[in-house]
Chains A and B, each alone.
Chain A
Amino acid sequence: MTVATVTPTTAPTGAGAPAPVRETRSDRIVMICNYTALGLFTLAVLYPLVYVLSASLSDPKNVVSGKVWLWPVGLSVEAFKAVFDYDSIVSGFGNSVVYALGGALLATALTLLAAYPLSRKGLPGKGIIMALFVFTMMFSGGLIPTYLVVDRLGLLNTRWAIILPGALAVWNMIITRTFFQSTIPEELVEAAKVDGCTDFGFFWRIVLPLSKPIIAVNLLFYAVAQWNSWFSALIYLTNEHLFPLQLVLRQILIQNNFDPSQVRDTAELIRMKELQEQLKFSLIVIATIPPLLIYPFVQKHFVKGAMVGSLKG
């Protein structure tokens, strides 16, 4: 199917106007079903989110006793105020932003640099290099050796320890490679070469602008992954000022339930519970808002790529 075969055989309107999309009965049913299904699914997802938001704005006592189920009961912003009382939460937030941004940029760059060459059909040794990457997805040295490497490189207790070791996710790289394979045909490359364009030039001036969706996806995924991560920080950092938000969150939210014989000072139990109840939902809200905020910016880049599709013929 190419552009050339558009013939107005079925268009009921005048020849001059662009052919309108005429909906058949089945189409309309499909559309209605679609909207309904999406709507229902959204509601199913929305309810728990609303619950979390309401709980964060309610008096913690009402949350605990189960009075809150949809709307806030005992409206109060105490929970949010309490959050800001803890320096480690505020600094954690800032750190997480730095890690998310820095990590996303570095990781996306590495991903693109690896995915593009591997998407070109004629590259000798492509299979071997690909296998090298894939192998690391299945096997890893383990925690201690990775730690030793990071230590050897002098990265311990620095921000680089958070950004570097996890910089490339082979999974993302593979998806990106697939994207390049589907949307950058070999003919385009050949044509560019004939015109004197180098590989570098082609990549920089043609491929990247055409790849906005996948770049956006990578940035998003890496940023979110960094935002949610806490394990690297746990292992590599001993400086509290570098801790990301999730690490602080875990401290508060995850209570140690698994050893009943452990001696517990009841006053400590009360205090921990109180903290949890007070901060749990407001922390969740605070931790969830930034990823939600950046999404609309990413969404903008999911635009239909008009040009490239027309070459498929």
Chain B
Amino acid sequence: MREDLSTTPVKRRAVVAGALGIAAVGSSGLLSGCSSGEAAAGAAPESLSAPPTELGRKKTGINYPPGYVGPVARERRAIVTEPVTFTVVVPQSLTVGDWSKNEFTHWMEQQTGIRIQWRQVAGKGNDAETMTKVNAMMAAGDIPDAFLGIGFTRSQLYLYGAQNLFVDLNPYLDKYAPNLQQAMQDYPEARRLMVSPDKGIYSFPDINDCYHCRASNGRALLNSDWVRKVGLGMPTTTDEFREVLTAFKKADPAGGGKTIPFGGYKDAPLDTYFMNAFLYNPGEPWLVVDDGKVGVTYVKDEWREALKYLHGLYADGLLAKDIFTANEDQIKRYGDNPSGPILGGARVYYWGTLMTLDLVDPKARWRQYQTMEPLKGPGGVQVAPWNYLGVGLEVSTLVVTRKCRRPDLLVRWADFQLDLEVVLRSYAGPDIRWSAKGDKGINGKQSIYGYDSWNTDATKGKTWDQFGVMYRSGDFRLAERVNPKRPTFESPLYEQTRDHLFPFRQPMEQQFPPVTLEADQAAQDAEIGLNLKGEVTTSLAKFVTGKLDPSDDGQWNDYKDRINRIGLQPYLEIQQAAYETYQG
């Protein structure tokens, strides 16, 4: 729908000639670039006149587990009979390759009749570089019909939506997105997570219910073989944990004094695991809700107790000396140590961070490392921080701009992708196979589908990586077939999360939800938040490594003073207001 972007020689010459006549500094009329006074809604009137979309019949021949909640395969029809073209901005991806030559792109065009003119932005979609480019485009008024896979924050969606740059999809979702409506019924919190403070819905969301992701931020692994070697059981309290590490150090299973009882690296925070033996602590930005009131964890006395505990561990050499400075490559080097394991355990997201994973050998080293249960502290607190709200629904998957004349078609195009078959094709490729009755999935129940390889050289250029609009419910993800000959880490990851972390989750009301901020608030939130983060993480490292002493009242109070001076109070006020808006 947008004219060809490449400038012809004639046009360019004319423009340059025009530019030469301009004096050194431009005046206002030359580069208004964008809006100020342009009409808002660009949608054509017929965009709301079509009859509501209905769901097709369920396809047969596919085995679903009992009680299954998630995308299903249905009969699908083309969306338009005459080809319609939209311009869409997407991130660059080596997996997708050239979006216009991509196999899944062709398949979608064939199936729906909607053609897309792709414009690729170098960048991953949610990083600073992509946002810089996208903002430059918007500033120049150079906007596409839609953005796909570009990670606008909730605050940005709200900011631009309220100014009519992004289309409020509410009326279209009601009429033309039956799959999404069904998904929203399956996930009751979805509406609150999708909606902006002005009740507008400025993007078509994606649901990606990754079970283990809800807890992996606080996961800690421990070498169960070593635990057995020193004659102890997996620790459940802070004291037992100390005992186990001390035993590791003494027994020196790695030989030559090379044993590292417990390690980590600089991007994996320790507080997400250890502080939870003293109080519920979700990690950065350390916001929690207590009876409707928003607070932070790092100024509480329990936090101080946790610091004392860690301080003791470090002082006794039970924590790796470089636990705050090592980078990911280094910890992998420890994990992959050729002569045998030297790490007793580590605070990492999952095994892959710790070492190269051998997925074939049933006795592979990574299998020795078990997910620890949260430790129970002296106060009886034992929590595994569980992310109810931040995982699952992702906003900003598809954002329709005011340039688009037919938002209804794009909404239908997005909704089309929520069908089971389309989801699988979108991220896994055309070589999926339906499972037979009795095939087991990751969670041990009936599996629905399976594939040989995911996101490898074989599927290059055939999928949209994970940038498409998808509905991947928890049941759906866990219904992936486990190949008995090549069991991946997905099953143990799921099981260990379910058995060791899920039972200890905190109540949902305590979690600080993903909120939307006004522009001014966002500025303050960013700056104070950044300074707070710097202070909290630096002080944590210092308290633990002994450069500061948590038992020293003076130093602890100094620390709290610094936190206040940075602006904790105004920061909390902003968060409280945003929280209350979220609650509605």
Contacts and interface: CB of A to CB of B under 8 A. Distances in A.
Given A66-B333, A154-B11, A260-B217, A61 B356 contact: yes
Contact of B217 (A85, A86, A261): A261
A159 B457 CA distance: 30
A286 interface: no
Contacts of A250: 122, 129
A240 B15 contact: no
Nearest to A252: B94
Interface in B121-140: 121-124, 126-127, 129, 132-133, 135-136, 139-140
Contact of A243 (B122, B142, B352): B122
A160 B11 CA distance: 14
Contacts of B349: 264, 266, 269
Interface stretch (A44-52, A142-150, A198-206, A212-220): A142-150
B575 to A, nearest CB: 15
A5 B490 CA distance: 87
A148 B135 CA distance: 11
Contacts of B338: 65, 67
Interface in B181-234: 208, 210, 212-213, 216-217
Contact of A64 (B16, B268, B356): B356
B284 interface: yes
A299 B284 CA distance: 53
Contacts of A154: 7, 11-12, 15
Interface string B305-342: 00000000000000000000000110011001110000
Nearest to B11: A154
Interface string A203-237: 00000000000000000000000000010011101
Contacts of B284: 260-261
A88 interface: yes
A61 B210 CA distance: 29
Most chain A beta-carbon neighbours within 10 Å: one of B283, B356, B457 = B356
B97 A88 contact: yes
Most chain A beta-carbon neighbours within 10 Å: one of B11, B19, B122, B210 = B122
B30 interface: yes
B267 interface: yes
A53 B188 CA distance: 55
A267 B356 contact: no
A1 to B, nearest CB: 48
A270 B488 CA distance: 12
Given A147-B136, A147-B139, A251 B94 contact: yes
A131 to B, nearest CB: 14
Contact of A157 (B5, B333, B456): B5
Interface in B86-106: 89, 92, 94-95, 97-99
Interface in B456-479: 456-457, 460, 466
A118 interface: no
A158 interface: yes
A152 B454 contact: no
Contact of B94 (A88, A257, A267): A88
Contact-residue size bin, chain B (C-beta under 8 Å from the other chain): 35 or more
Nearest to B327: A257
Interface of chain A, main secondary structure: helix
B152 interface: no
Contacts of A100: none
B454 A267 contact: yes
A87 interface: yes
B367 interface: no
B121 A238 contact: yes
B369 interface: no
Given A85-B457, A144-B136, A266-B493, A156 B124 contact: no
Interface string B407-444: 00000000000000000000000000000000000000
B15 A65 contact: no
Contact of A233 (B122, B350, B353, B456): B122
B6 A157 contact: yes
Contacts of A145: 31
Contacts of B333: 64-66
Nearest to A247: B122
B489 interface: yes
Contacts of B457: 85
Nearest to A279: B94
Interface string A48-86: 000000000000010011110000000000000000011
A252 B124 CA distance: 10
Nearest to A132: B24
Interface of B: 5-7, 11-12, 15-16, 19, 30-31, 33, 89, 92, 94-95, 97-99, 119-124, 126-127, 129, 132-133, 135-136, 139-140, 142, 208, 210, 212-213, 216-217, 267-269, 283-284, 328-329, 332-333, 336-338, 349-350, 352-353, 356-357, 390-391, 394, 454-457, 460, 466, 489-490, 493
19 contacts: A65-B332, A65-B337, A86-B97, A87-B97, A143-B132, A147-B140, A148-B31, A152-B31, A153-B16, A154-B15, A155-B7, A156-B140, A157-B6, A238-B120, A251-B122, A260-B217, A260-B268, A261-B217, A267-B455
Given A64-B329, A234-B123, 12 more contacts: A64-B333, A64-B336, A85-B460, A144-B135, A144-B136, A144-B139, A152-B31, A260-B267, A263-B390, A266-B350, A266-B490, A267-B454
